[in-house]
Amino acid sequence: MVERSKKPVPIPVSPTRAENQGFVSESDRVKLSLPTGESVEILLHGATVISWVVDGQEKLFLSEKATLDGSKPVRGGIPLVFPVFGKPTEGPVAALPQHGFARLCKWELLGRTSETDTSIQVDFGLGPENLTADQREQWPYIFGLIYSVNLSKNSLETKMLVRNEGFKTFDFNLLFHTYLRIPDVNNLTVEGLKGTNYKCKVTQSEAVEEAVELPINSEVDRVYANVPGTVQVKDRGQAIFKIDRTNLEDVVVWNPWDGARKMADFGPEDGYKDMSKRPTALLSRIRVLMPLGLLVCIEAGAVSKWHTLEPESIWEGSTIINL
Ligand SMILES: O=P(O)(O)OC[C@H]1O[C@H](O)[C@H](O)[C@@H](O)[C@@H]1O
């Protein structure tokens, strides 16, 4: 449970910024914006970031068929993975659904906690009181999560604080399952992984990454452990996303490729690859107005091993995506 005494203290905003309405809270979501036009939108359901707009361009992929009403995890944006990554078939977390419960729960809005003309932050909380009785049974620990989303002019930072508020030690994984929107997967490379050990979930094998520039040209589902520095996503050799991490040692690279066709909530069906192959004039016009999705997931996390949290201990991990 998020102790009220531990809640972040809201910082009063200047009248000028208040007039700019950089923070809008609706029944199911929160919208943040900067005077320079950048914005981010976060659903209370899963505390899922579903949009990040810079210079009028959407930076995150959100499936056309994503469910946003809280009945399913969101296919797109930044779903939160906690307290388990994947779906272990045995052990104390075997009863939990794939990727845990954090992306399924309705989070509490704790409030806007810092704001200047160049950045704005909002915090959300989750504890056992926000879980269903089944979820509490599946993961019977007393915990508090505080999730912060910080929007700056050219970056988006997400930070998770995990607190063990009970008497029992627990193990957890955490991951920001970030769906990046990219212009064209055919020109895309991911850099910063060379020399890192990875588990390939497609071939069920392990290897050391040899590529300086990793292309995405088929299904990719790799868990890179202990990635040393910045991971860059490049389009035609130009960095379009630079991802830095603090206390999140691992990076998952995922693109379902044509496996996306089997996902009921994935749309457009070929959004994994290249929307330009859809020829109709109407779709081309729509594409100009609202470029549809091409994606790669670059997921910063702590997933290659369990993190153990003793009672009264705190763990914090964050990632920042710079443009
Ligand atoms: O379909 P989901 O439960 O959202 O999982 C989507 C994907 O998440 C991660 O990237 C995993 O490495 C993949 O194996 C998984 O398919």
Tell how far the Cα of 103 is from the centroid of ligand 1, in angstroms: 12
Minimum-distance ligand 1 atom for the alpha carbon of 75: 4
Contacts of 82 (CB under 8 A, 6+ apart): 100, 101, 102, 145, 160, 162, 172, 173, 174, 175
Examine the residue annotation and report whether 177 is marked as an active-site residue of this protein: yes
Residue nearest to atom 12 of ligand 1 (CA): 221
Select which of 45, 177, 209, 249 is catalytic.
177
Q: What is the pLDDT of residue 258?
A: 82
* 112's tokens: 């806007």
Minimum-distance ligand 1 atom for the alpha carbon of 103: 4
54 touches 38 (CB < 8 A) = yes
> What is the number of other CB atoms lying within 10 angstroms of the CB of residue 269?
15
Tell how far the Cα of 256 is from the centroid of ligand 1, in angstroms: 8
Q: Which domains are delineated in the chain? A: 4-322 (2.70.98.10)
Tell how far the Cα of 173 is from the centroid of ligand 1, in angstroms: 14
Q: Which of 96, 103, 221 to mutate to test the pocket of ligand 1 (most atoms within 8 A of CB)?
A: 221
Select which of 299, 307, 312, 316 is catalytic.
299
User: Taking the CA atoms of the chain, what radius of gyration do you get in angstroms?
Assistant: 19
Examine the residue annotation and report whether 307 is marked as an active-site residue of this protein: no
Q: What is the pLDDT of residue 257?
A: 87
- Tokens 């307290």, residue located: 83
Tell how far the Cα of 273 is from the centroid of ligand 1, in angstroms: 17
Q: What is the pLDDT of residue 16?
A: 44
> What is the number of other CB atoms lying within 10 angstroms of the CB of residue 249?
18
Sheet containing 49-54: order of strands: 23-25, 29-33, 39-43, 49-54, 57-58
Amino acid at 2: V
**pLDDT tens-digit profile, the chain (323 residues):** 445 455 555 554 444 444 446 999 999 999 999 999 999 999 999 999 999 999 999 999 999 999 999 999 999 999 999 999 999 888 878 999 999 999 999 999 999 988 888 999 999 999 999 999 999 999 999 999 999 999 999 999 999 999 999 999 999 999 999 999 999 888 999 999 999 999 999 999 999 999 999 999 899 999 999 999 999 999 999 999 999 999 999 999 999 988 888 889 988 777 776 534 444 444 444 443 333 348 999 999 999 999 999 999 999 999 999 99
